[in-house]
A and B are shown apart, each in its own frame.
Chain A
C-alpha cells in the first residue's frame, strides 16, 4: 500500500467526515424544530457577495489571532481560557494609549501595539506565575482573571471615557486619524475594506510557525506539552516555560482586538466593542489543530458561518442561533473525527513499522523466521 496515498486519504477523510457529521446533526436539529432544511442550507452555503467576503476576511483576521493565542497554550498543554480577558485588557490599554496620541502617526500605532502586547502578556502572566509557583490550575486562574478583567476595564473605561453629546455609547478617545491602519480596498464598488492589520496577522502566523517549529524555544515548548516529565529530565525548566508560554499567549491575545480598534469606526474602545472573541478562539484552535494554516481556515469557516447568520434570519426567517449550533457541532465532530482518524492512522503506522521490520529481519537473516511469521 502506498504510504503517501494513505496519508492523503486520511487527511481528506477526517475533515470530510467531520463536516458530513455536522451537516447531518444540524439538519436533524432543523427538522426537529420544523425549519426549512433545504432553504437554510442553501442560504448558509451560498457564495457570499463581495462586501460579505470582505467582512468574512475581517472577522477571520480577528478570530485567527484569537485562535493563535489559544493554540500557543495548547501546544504546551496549557488551557488558556483567559484570552477573552487578556484581549480586553490589552485593547483597552492600546485604545487609551493611542487615543492620547502622544506620538505622531504610526509611531503612535506602534506604541499602542506594544502596549497591547505587554498588557496581554502581563495579564496572562499572572496565571502563569500562579501555575508555576503555586500550582494553581491555569484554567481556574484565567477564568477568574476574565471576570476581573471585565470589572477592571469597566472601571477604567468609566475614568477615561469621552462622552459625546447625544450619544449613549461611551468609549475612549478615538485613535487619531494618522495612526489608524488603512484598509485594503479589494473591490472598488463596495463600501467595506479589508483590515490593513491582516498583513500583520499573517506575519504573526508566520512567526508563530517559525518559533514553534524551528526554534529551540519552540522545541522546548512542544516537548513540555508532550511530556512535562521528559522535559524536566532533558533540562527544560518547566516553570519558566509555563510563565513564558502564558505570557506569549497573552501577548498574541493582546493583538486580537487591534484590527477592530485601528481598522473600523469608531476607532476606540467603548461599550459596544465586540466581546467573546477569546472563547471563539478556543474553538478555532481546536478546529485548526494548533497549526497556523489550520487556524486560518478554521477562522475563515467560523467567520463565513457568522456572516451567513444575517441573511438567514432576514431572508429565510430562521433564528441565527442555528449558526451557533452549527459551529458548535462542527467543533465537536472535528475533534471526534480527527481523534478517530489519528488513532486509525497510528495503528496503520504501527502495523507498517512492524511489517517493515519483519521484512527486514526476514531479508537479513534467514534460517530462523519461519513460514508462520512470514505469513503474518
Chain B
C-alpha cells in the first residue's frame, strides 16, 4: 500500500522530508474502500489535466481533495461523476471496476455531486426541485414528500419540503442540493468548493451535516482550497498539484501551512500588513452614495467613507450586499447613483467612467473575464484597454502599436506575467497571469486611487502573493486603495481599516488588527452584536 502514501514527484528526495513525516497509512483507520482511483489520466491540449491520480476514499469518511486552481481537481471530479471519460486508469466503486460514461452511470453507481453553483429552480418548492428529473423514483406526490422528509430528518438537514427555493438562504439551498443527491440514492457525495459561497457560521452548519452523513456510513469527497476548513472537517486529505496526486495526509498531523506548501510546492506568501503608511490627506471621499435597483429597492443606501493617501480600506460583506454596485458607482459604470464622490478634492460624481479613469483611478475588476480583459485579443491590446486615450497607448486618436507592445513587455517583465509574448491572446494565459497583467496595467498610468475587487480570486498561490505585494507597494507609494474581498484573511491581512457592508449599507467599522474572521462573519450576516467601533449598527429584518 505504499503508493497510497506519497505519489509523484514528492516521493523524490528533494521534497520528501516534509511529506514522509506527515504521511501515514490511510486505510488503516477506516474500513472498506468506497472509491478507488488508480492511475487516472486525462489530457487536454495546453492544460494540465490529470496524470496518474491515485486516491482511495474510505467508506464512512470525509475525504478532502485540495489543490490550487487549475491543479486538476475539477477534471478529476468530472471524471468521477461521469462527465468526461478518463484517458487512462481505473475507477472502482465498492470493489467493482466501473466505466462511467455519463452522470447517469455515476448516479446508478451511487455517486452524487453538489456543484459549486446551485442548480435549483428558484420559483419551485424544495420538493419540486428535489423530484425534478427523478420522478421515476418515488413519483411526485405523497411518497416523494415522505421520502424527502425522511431524508431530511435522518441527516439533520432541517428542510421544509414546501418552501420555495427563492425564500431560502444560501446555506439552506446547499442543503437542498445535498438532499437532491441523497434522494437519488447516492452513497458517495462529491462537494465542489461547497464553502465558497458560505459565511463562517453557515460553514459550521454544513460541516455538521457532513459529519452526520459520515456517521450514516456515507462517503464524502470534499473539494476545497480553504485549508483551515479542510483540516477541521476531513478525515483524510489528498493533495493534487499539476494534475497529479502528490500526497495523502492525515489532518491531525499537518498544519495548514504545510498543506499549502504541498499544494504549491514552495514557500508561501502571507498577506501581512506592514507598518502603517496612512496619511491625513483624504484621497477619496464618498458621501451619501445611494443607488436604486431596477425594482426601486435601494442597492446602496447612504454610503459614506474616506480613504486617505497610503491607506487600504477593506470592504467585507456576503456577496450580493452591494459591493459590486459600490465599486461600479465609484467607477461611474452605473447610472442613477446619488451622492458625492470626491477624488483628491474634485467631485467626480458627474463624470464618465473614462474621465474618472483619467482622473487617476486604477481598477482591478472582480470578474476579470467579463470586465477586465478582451479574452480573444492579444495581450498588447489588453494593455491598451482602458488606456486608449492616454500615452503611450495612443496619441492623437491613433493607437500606437509599437509603444503599446513595448509597454506590455515592460509590464510582463515587471509583474512577472508568464507568457511567450505580447501577441498571445489573453485567453491562453492562466488566471494568475491574467490578473498580474491587469494589475500591471492599472498601475501603469500613475493612479492615485486603486480599486481592487477580489484581486486574488481564482488565482494560484504564487500569483496571489505577487498581487498582494503589488497592492502593498501601491499603498507605500501613497495610493489610496479600496479593497473588496470575500477572503477574510486577505482583508484582515492587507487592510488598514475594514468596513462591513450589509444590504447596501455600511454597518460597522473594524480594526483589522483586533478583529477575528468570526466577528466579521457575524457583522456580515447581520447577526452580530459584536461591532467594536460600529458607526451604524442598525440592521433590519
Note whether A and B contact each other (Cβ less than 8 A). Answer: yes
Q: Which residues of the partner chain B approach A346 to less than 8 Å between Cβ atoms?
A: 425, 427
B12 lies within 8 A of A370 (CB): yes
Assess the B420–A357 pair: CB atoms within 8 A.
Answer: yes
**A235→B9 CA distance, assembly (Å):** 47
0 or 1 for each of A201-226: is its CB under 8 Å from B? (1 = yes):
00000000000001111111011001
Checking B242, B375, B399, B429 against A215 with a beta-carbon cut-off of 8 angstroms, the contacting residue is B399
Given contacts A223-B385, A350-B45, A372-B51, contact A217 B419 (CB under 8 A): no
Q: How far is the CA of A236 from the CA of B8 in the complex (A)?
A: 49
Assess whether B14 is in contact with A367, with CB atoms less than 8 Å apart. yes
Interface of A is mostly: helix
A148 within 8 A of B: no
B69 within 8 A of A: no
Q: Which of B46, B331, B375 contacts A227 (CB 8 A)?
A: B375
Contacts of B370 in A (CB 8 A): 227, 229-230
Interface presence of B455 (CB below 8 A):
no
Q: For residue B401, which residue of chain A has the nearest CB?
A: A214
Question: What separation, in Å, do the CA atoms of A237 and B335 have in the docked complex?
Answer: 12
**Which residues of chain B have C-beta atoms less than 8 A from A226's C-beta?**
374-377
Give chain B nearest CB distance to A209 CB in angstroms. 13
Does A232 lie within 8 Å of B353, measured CB to CB?
A: yes
Tell me the minimal C-beta distance from A291 to chain B in angstroms: 15
Judging by beta carbons under 8 Å apart, are B381 and A219 in contact? yes
Task: State A216–B398 Cα separation when bound (angstroms).
Answer: 5
Q: How far is the CB of A216 from chain B (nearest CB, A)?
A: 5
- B1-23 CB contacts (< 8 Å) to partner A: 8-9, 12, 14-15
- Of the candidates A234, A237, A350, the one having the most CB atoms from chain B within 10 angstroms of its own CB is A234
Interface residue B251 (Cβ < 8 Å from any Cβ of A): no
The reply to whether the CB of A164 lies closer than 8 angstroms to some CB of chain B is: no
- Closest residue of B by beta carbon distance from A237: B352
Q: Is the CB of B374 within 8 A of A230?
A: yes
* Distance A218 CA – B394 CA, assembled complex (angstroms): 12
| A-contact bits for B338-369, CB 8 A (1 contact / 0 none) | 00000000000000111111100001010100
Residues in chain B near residue A361, CB distance under 8 A: 418
Number of interface residues of A (CB under 8 A): 39
Report if A163 contacts B (CB, 8 A): no
Other-chain residue from B358, B388, B420 in contact with A216 (beta carbon distance below 8 A): B388
* A39 adjacent to chain B (CB < 8 Å): no
8 A Cβ contacts from A296-334 to B: none
Chain A residue numbers with a CB within 8 Å of B385 are 223, 230, 234
Q: Is B397's CB within 8 Å of the partner chain A?
A: yes
For residue B139, CB closer than 8 A to chain A, the reply is no
For residue A352, which residues in chain B have a CB less than 8 angstroms away from its CB?
46, 420
Interchain CA distance A223-B399 in the complex, whole Å: 13
With beta carbons under 8 angstroms apart, the residue of A219, A222, A372 that contacts B9 is A372
Minimum CB–CB distance for A237 against chain B, Å: 6
Q: Is the CB of B384 within 8 A of A219?
A: yes
Say whether, besides A216-B388, A217-B397, A350-B428, A233 and B51 are in contact (CB < 8 Å): no
Verify B424–A349 contact, CB threshold 8 A.
Answer: yes
A319 to B381: give the CA distance in the assembly, Å: 49
Neighbouring A residues of B200 by C-beta, 8 Å: none
- Whether A349 and B397, one on each chain, are in contact in the complex, defined by CB atoms closer than 8 angstroms, is no
Which residues of chain B have C-beta atoms less than 8 A from A353's C-beta?
46, 419-420, 424, 428-429
Pick from B46, B352, B373, B374: contact of A235, CB under 8 Å: B352
User: Once the chains bind, are A373 and B399 in contact (CB under 8 Å)?
Assistant: no
Give the nearest-CB partner of A347 in chain B: B45
Distance, CA A223 to CA B427, complexed state (A): 15
Given A214-B398, A215-B398, A227-B370, CB of A235 within 8 Å of CB of B356: yes
Bound: A347/B45 CA distance, A: 6
**In the complex, are the beta carbons of B399 and A214 less than 8 A apart?**
yes
| Interface assignment of B143: CB less than 8 Å from any CB of chain A | no
Task: From the candidates B15, B363, B387, B397, name the one contacting A233 in the complex (CB within 8 A).
Answer: B363
247-276 of chain B: CB within 8 A of chain A: 265-266
Decide if A6 is an interface residue (CB 8 Å cutoff).
no
Given contacts A234-B385, A357-B418, contact A373 B45 (CB under 8 A): no
Is residue B526 contacting chain A, with contact meaning CB distance below 8 A? no
**A235 partner residues in chain B, CB cutoff 8 A:** 352-358, 386, 389
| A354 interface hit (Cβ, 8 Å) | yes
**A230: min CB distance to chain B, Å:** 5
Closest to A349 in B: B428
Interface residues of A in 328-373 (CB under 8 A from B): 346-357, 360-361, 367-368, 370, 372-373
Q: Is the beta-carbon distance between B371 and A347 smaller than 8 angstroms?
A: no
| Across-interface contacts of A355 in B (CB, < 8 A) | 46
Q: How far is the CA of A223 from the CA of B365 in the complex (A)?
A: 16
B420, A356: Cβ atoms under 8 Å? yes
Please, how many angstroms separate the alpha-carbon atoms of A229 and B424 in the complex?
21
A234 to B385, CA, bound (A): 6
B104 within 8 A of A: no
Residues of B within 8 A of A237 (CB): 352-354
A322–B285 CA distance with the chains assembled, in angstroms: 69
User: Nearest Cβ distance between residue A165 and chain B, in whole angstroms?
Assistant: 55
Q: Does B372 contact A (CB under 8 A)?
A: yes
Which residues of chain A have C-beta atoms less than 8 A from B61's C-beta? none
Q: Nearest residue in B to A226 (C-beta to C-beta)?
A: B374
Cβ contact of B46, chosen from A219, A220, A233, A351, cutoff 8 A: A351
A226, A352, A353: which has the most chain B beta carbons within 10 Å? A353
In the complex, chain B residues whose CB is within 8 Å of the CB of A372: 8-9, 51-52, 244
Does residue B333 face the partner (Cβ distance < 8 Å to A)? yes
Interface presence of B47 (CB below 8 A): yes
Q: How far is the CB of B510 from chain A (nearest CB, A)?
A: 29
Q: A233 near B47 (CB under 8 angstroms)?
A: no
Contacts of B8 in A (CB 8 A): 370, 372
Q: Chain A residues near B14 (CB, 8 Å)?
A: 367-368
The A212-268 residues at the B interface (CB cut-off 8 A) are 214-220, 222-223, 226-227, 229-230, 232-237
Question: Which residue of B47, B388, B429 contacts A220 across the interface (Cβ within 8 Å)?
Answer: B388
One of A220, A230, A351, A354 near B373 (C-beta < 8 A): A230
Are B389 and A216 neighbours in the complex by a CB distance under 8 Å? yes
Closest to A239 in B: B335
A356 nearest CB neighbor, chain B only: B420
Q: How far is the CA of A143 from the CA of B200 in the complex (A)?
A: 54
Which residues in A have their C-beta under 8 angstroms from that of B377? 222-223, 226
A248 → B minimal CB distance (Å): 15
Pick from A220, A233, A236 the residue with the most CB of B within 10 Å: A233
**A61 to B8 CA separation, bound complex (whole angstroms):** 64
Q: For the complex, what is the distance from the CA of A216 to the CA of B354, rounded to whole Å? A: 13
Q: Is the CB of B399 within 8 A of A219?
A: yes
With CB as the reference atom, state the residue of chain A lying closest to B361: A235
Other CB < 8 Å A-B pairs besides A226-B376, A235-B358, 12 of them? A216-B394, A219-B394, A230-B370, A232-B371, A234-B386, A237-B352, A349-B428, A350-B47, A353-B428, A355-B46, A357-B419, A367-B14
Chain A contact residues, CB within 8 Å of chain B: 214-220, 222-223, 226-227, 229-230, 232-237, 346-357, 360-361, 367-368, 370, 372-373, 376
The 5 A-B pairs at the shortest CB distance, nearest first, are namely A235-B354, A234-B386, A350-B46, A233-B371, A351-B46
A-B contact pairs, 7 of them (CB 8 A): A215-B399, A233-B365, A235-B354, A235-B356, A347-B46, A350-B46, A368-B15
Residues of B within 8 A of A (CB): 8-9, 12, 14-15, 45-47, 51-52, 242, 244, 265-266, 331, 333, 352-358, 363, 365, 367, 370-377, 381, 384-389, 394, 397-399, 418-420, 424-425, 427-429
